[in-house]
Amino acid sequence: MFKSDTAETQLQIVYRLNHITYLPHYRNSSVFIGPGYPLRTQAQYSVMDLVAAGAQKDTLALWHRSSTGTVNAENL
């Protein structure tokens, strides 16, 4: 694989709860989503939701996320 074939990543905040990792949505990094999104579940979580449930903050190298996009049923 050539370097030009890979997308650049940056460290992003994620949350882990019960061995499940919740990632920031591509359109808005303040909205977190879990496995199966959007095909099996359309559940979205805020940082407050995850922390209140006992999630732990962590970081992963992920592709760039927007910080201001709208997340709704039309652009899951």
Structural domain spans, the chain: 3-63
Q: How far apart are the first and last CA of the chain?
A: 30
3-class secondary structure, 39: coil
pLDDT in tens, 20-69: 999 999 888 899 999 999 999 999 999 999 999 999 999 999 988 777 66
**Residue 38 burial by Cβ neighbours in a 10 Å radius (0-12, 13-18, 19+):** middle
Q: Which residues pair with 31 in a beta bridge?
A: none
- Tokens 């579940």 sit on residue: 41
**75, pLDDT greater than 80:** no
Q: 51 φ, ψ to 5°? A: -65, -40
Stated pTM of the model? 0.83
